Chain A
């Protein structure tokens, strides 16, 4: 089968799998949310106060919250079929618009932290494997284990204390300086200064995971027969390590990186809160507090879809990294 045909087959298979998964998630979460006491109107009423019973009923009717659960579910599925995520009672905006406005922030945060984590993880892992059992390995292993054991939000808070409160090097929150109205390079520099701490705090945990994984897989692979063959050919140790060992270690790394995407989204919720970063994670938390289920469901769906797409990318990456794997 040609590469293109295999890619197309994989895409098609994923699309077919995604539909029941999304359907299942919608139904599961929808019913779970029905168990939650109170709704968005209660929260609104609580905040503004003094809304009459009739007013509440009218609000509920306008958002369809007075309908039976099944009707609400069907209405939601109908929205989905028309590529709409419904309407947010709290923000008084279509959920899609709300999510799209927060999406770039989250994507930048997560993408940057993943790229950094993978690059640093591979480098540290390779160093640890090369010096396995000796002091550079022991030191880095301990550091990785510490990082692996530290909550990201705490790393963020401590970094904030040091870099922003004590040293005053970096801003403490948000994504750009409010009211500065910068353009071009100045904007980019300002944005980068704001992004350093959240990206680092989010990346830390993953650096630890990837470094540990790369180390373990490289040690495992370096015991394989084909590595002995490579040495028997007279290749230099560095060539053997990079071309034969590291190349193979990328396969488990890509698997684990794909698997941890869900963890990444969860981590983003907390990190965004710590640094007041305008992203989806904070939106999700706000939606929970406000009992704004349309928004919450929208975010959950979107993140599930992201996980599905990421798995697809990992599958394709695998097929490219490891010729033994036929894209199923």
Chain B
């Protein structure tokens, strides 16, 4: 490809690199959108940061849930790079000069920039698989050992030669500061380049780490981060499922409506109307154990349930420790976060000591069996640690019999089921499925499957 100016070439590469970083962070960018970015930049004055940023965002980001990711990538990629970074590295050299080293042979600003670019190009030239296995130190050594770089006439060649001589000697022998600066410059530049290349990947790695982490092992600081992520992922999941559900819709001919609307044309059926197939949206009843052993986990489940509320035709939620309470109204009138807080500070869930599943199931059958029906999917969340009390098996079987299916999500690991006071096995025998779910990814996969 031909570029009119050097500036244009650098600019183009920068944008393409930014696109790659977005893709690394799991943002979908199609080729048309990349073409659009360049189309857009031709029309605006991109020396204004706000305009430049919006031009990128408006053409590249089509999903509003990706906007926070875009903000972060943009911030790290464009803002954390001071315009006069070359000057900063020049200062390293100047400092060396002030310390009494020889003035001659010091690189100019342009030369530093050229050397920097050459380092970037060198790193970009390495195959991705190789790069993944190398540390910054390894790459510095690779550069220093590269004969073709050392013998090249450019600024980097000069610097490599200097740095090599520095490396050859021991630390105490630092008499030629200029050489030292060359090595510092190369190391600094390699680190910067690696960090830049990994902006997207590190965002994604962080998300995957959080999504895969055992929910009860999350640290308080991570919980906050996780909440944001649950919102974002929940929204994405909802969007995905809602698109999928809409695909199967048209049913048979709606005779009544066709006749009625074509009466105006003397009963000749010009326009046909079809009966919409009933979309099979499940009704959901969620029974959440909110005792301290599974509390964190229930929080995320409830948060996710309410993000997805629109997908179900009806959601009713109940929370219990040893007393079953319907919490649906709380979510109807409050922000989910606030509703959750008020649930977890309330005390009306306890009656006696610790979780009592049996008592709660009995209570559910007595008071709320109207919430069950042929279309209802029941979700139970809890570790089935019943504190050696009556399991209320009869009620549990009645719940199963009066609903379509019943799933139990158990945050305990499978080998701990039936251990100590857990009676998971007893309940599992009567569930459609009892599933070990202890991180957010499992949770969202489970919900995803409900709609297949």
Q: Do A and B bind each other?
A: no
